[in-house]
Structure 1
């Protein structure tokens, strides 16, 4: 039996040696495959650089765009809060114009109103012109009510402007409130 055991041990040893040789060959093959050439390394690094550069350029453009937009609309909240003051001035001027004895008062209020409104215009505020008889446009006007049109040609058109609209640059900050004919 010792010969049989020796033969079995020898076969087991041979199998183990064969397995080790195969593993060594696979490791050598893997090592050869894992090592990239200098051209490949250069290409991957160049690709990484180009992607990073493009990402940085996009970041710069986005922040510049955001900064410009911020400058354009920085005073929008302040302008919106000052619009009721402009409305009050206009109502006061309308009321004072009816009183003949208050001519000096009207001149003083008109002077203050003009100075105040000119300052707002210098900061980018402009009035949206809305007149009776204009065609109603839902993108520009805000309809607060509809009444029967006094004539056929005023159907679907503006009959009265209740509150004036304003814009800052190209952005509308308050839509004109209008009454339209039905």
Structure 2
């Protein structure tokens, strides 16, 4: 009833004007709301960008720290790489010191040679344990990858290309030649 009374009291022209005003107010409210949504969305994107930027900076700092730590570890590894071998050679050094400090008057040549032989075998064991191995030479075919020919000879009873004499031992460290054997090869 009230609605009928309201519509009767207002002229059609006034009702149309009121409708236009209401539409304009609704559009203004929508624009305002849309603007607020746009501003809110812009602020959200800005916050996300800042968060991503902070995460990127932290990740870059972590990467720099990791590089520094890795470089330090590599330097330490290179610096102390031979520590294990040195520790294993210390007993050999101790035995040499004992031999040198032994009573010279009571020492015989045989006891000295026995002591030197024991120290030599101990040192060879340390090197073998670390992966050092002698290169077989005498009686083996000449291999330019592991042998260095310094002389040639002609012996009729030995096959051609076979090592007949070794002047200096060669050594392999694991799978790498660290010193080729100096040899005489039969021509």
TM class by shorter chain equals 0.3 to 0.5
Of structures 1 and 2, the one scoring higher in RCO (CA 8 A, sep 6+) is: 1
Normalised to the residue count of structure 1, the TM-score between the two structures is 0.47
TM-score (ref. length: structure 2): 0.46
Look at both structures and tell me which one has the larger radius of gyration over its CA atoms. Answer: 2
